Amino acid sequence: MRFSLSTIVAVAALTSQASASLMSQYSTSSSFNPTELRLVQTEAGTEWVTEADKLELKRAGTNFMDITDHEDLGVTALLDMTNTTYPTELLFQDEVAPLIGNISTAAMKMNLEIFSSFFNRFYKAKTGGDSSMWLFNTVKAIAGVNPNVTVFPFHHAWPQKSLVAKIPGINAGTALDRTVIVGAHQDSMNLLFPSLFGAPGADDDGSGTVTILETFRVLIESGFQPNNTIEFHWYSAEEGGLLGSQAIFAEYSKRQIAVTAMLQQDMTGYVAKTLEAGEPEAIGVVTDFVHPALTEFIKTAITGYASIPYVETSCGYACSDHASAAKAGYPSAFVIESAFENTNPFIHSVKDTVDRLSFEHMAEHAKLTLGYVYELAYYNFTSPPVPASA
């Protein structure tokens, strides 16, 4: 399906979001070519479609990966980490407790207010590039106090960079070297008109972005030194069909990086619908298209580290960036703010704003993330677990 000019004009006229200044922004942004052909993979198979068709797929709720640039992701993978095992008991609750006490809802709020104030974070737009620069500088400022930590941008064919912050493990460079990843996506998108309309993306996925950023800050400020390598990833272009994360995992697969766990958090802040339904506030653990054993460990970590329970839910095929890790042969898991049916109804619009979110709920996700990182940082992935501090 293509957009005719009359559709474009009608949508613009009908929508109060459009203004003369935004129009000029549209004409100068690197923007959206509705007729460009892309290869997409849905649960049903692969097909060539236009960028406009991709928008239609999203609007219809059909999840897809845009595999144009990484058609053979996983096909030629030399590593298959999917037989990995995980801790069945938590060994670091005493060490993590003081770190949990350092989680700051004020820091998350301050960061999210800035991050969601970019007009949009559309990956093809200049503002999407600007927001990734802000995030890069913010992550670097946190890492700055620790000379071991590296922060690097991962460049793409569009303005918005993916970002990787790496805390090398003691095991780095040895046969025991393993990598544990925490991820979120940094881009946002207005489904009516990606290049033209605003998309504050406070929940999707500004919330996941600041949740893992806060976890990173608390760990770095504690002087954390893991055995396994820990990486924080902020993916570009998730909304375009998992483009940034596919590029990263294609590269990791090519370099034979031994990723034993990837936890994606996409939307961590909205609880209103859960509470209105009279249900208890809980972390949504996604159980479809995920690694079962890693997901079991995530449940154990929620029970041991968060102050609220979990609820099992599903999100569908290629719902977020964990699907790119899985396709590359890496175990991945996914948690969201609630049961799927209670998630934020305002995403992909101008209404995805900070005032609708709970920073206390984001803090629960941060607690889980601290527990996940700490437990896996010292887990011996190649033989029975031996805590480094024991």
Which residues lie near ligand BES (CB under 6 A)? 58, 63-64, 204-205, 238-239, 241-242, 266-267, 315, 318-320, 336, 340, 343
Shortest CB 215 distance to Zn ion, Å: 18
Q: Which does 340 bind (CB under 5 to 8 A by kind): Zn ion, ligand BES, none?
A: ligand BES
Q: Which does 259 bind (CB under 5 to 8 A by kind): ligand BES, Zn ion, none?
A: none
Shortest CB 320 distance to Zn ion, Å: 6
Q: Are strands 37-42 and 179-185 parallel, antiparallel or unpaired?
A: unpaired
The alpha carbon dihedral of 144, 183, 162, 270 has a sign of negative
Span 203-222, contacts to Zn ion by CB under 5 A? 204-205
d(CA 189, CA 347): 9
d(CA 248, CA 238): 12
Q: Which is nearer to Zn ion, 231 or 266 (CB)?
A: 266
Of 254, 241, 218, residue with least CA distance to 74: 254
d(CA 307, CA 109): 20
Q: Which is nearer to ligand BES, 199 or 220 (CB)?
A: 199
Shortest CB 191 distance to ligand BES, Å: 9
Amino acid (1-letter code) at residue 68: T
d(CA 221, CA 315): 34
How many positions of this chain bind Zn ion (CB under 5 A)? 3
Is the separation of the CB atoms in 56 and 34 below 8 Å? no
Shortest CB 187 distance to ligand BES, Å: 8
Q: Which does 242 bind (CB under 5 to 8 A by kind): ligand BES, Zn ion, none?
A: ligand BES
66 binds Zn ion (CB under 5 A): no
Q: Which is nearer to ligand BES, 159 or 208 (CB)?
A: 208
Shortest CB 319 distance to Zn ion, Å: 8
Q: Which is nearer to Zn ion, 142 or 163 (CB)?
A: 163
337 binds Zn ion (CB under 5 A): no
Is the separation of the CB atoms in 335 and 365 below 8 Å? yes
Shortest CB 30 distance to ligand BES, Å: 19
Q: Which does 343 bind (CB under 5 to 8 A by kind): ligand BES, Zn ion, none?
A: ligand BES
Radius of gyration for the chain, computed over Cα atoms and rounded to the nearest angstrom:
20
Q: Which does 3 bind (CB under 5 to 8 A by kind): Zn ion, ligand BES, none?
A: none
Those residues whose C-beta lies under 8 Å from the C-beta of residue 248, and which sit 6 or more positions away, are 154, 162, 164, 233, 235, 324
Query: Which string of x and - marks every residue 248-267 that binds Zn ion (by CB under 5 A)?
Result: ------------------x-
Q: Which does 58 bind (CB under 5 to 8 A by kind): Zn ion, ligand BES, none?
A: ligand BES
- Residue nearest ligand BES, CB atom distance: 343
Shortest CB 347 distance to ligand BES, Å: 6
DSSP string computed for 222-267: TT---SSEEEEEEES-STTTSHHHHHHHHHHHHTT--EEEEEEE--
Q: Which is nearer to ligand BES, 118 or 378 (CB)?
A: 118
d(CA 328, CA 81): 9
DSSP string computed for 259-304: EEEEEEE------HHHHHTTPPP-EEEE-SSS-HHHHHHHHHHHHH
Q: Which does 319 bind (CB under 5 to 8 A by kind): Zn ion, ligand BES, none?
A: ligand BES
d(CA 281, CA 270): 10
Pair of tokens at residue 205? 């996925």
Q: Which is nearer to ligand BES, 159 or 244 (CB)?
A: 244
Shortest CB 174 distance to ligand BES, Å: 36
Amino acid (1-letter code) at residue 226: P
Q: Which is nearer to ligand BES, 3 or 340 (CB)?
A: 340
Q: Which is nearer to ligand BES, 220 or 318 (CB)?
A: 318
Of 354, 332, 309, 302, residue with least CA distance to 100: 302
Residues at the interface with Zn ion (CB under 5 A) = 204-205, 266
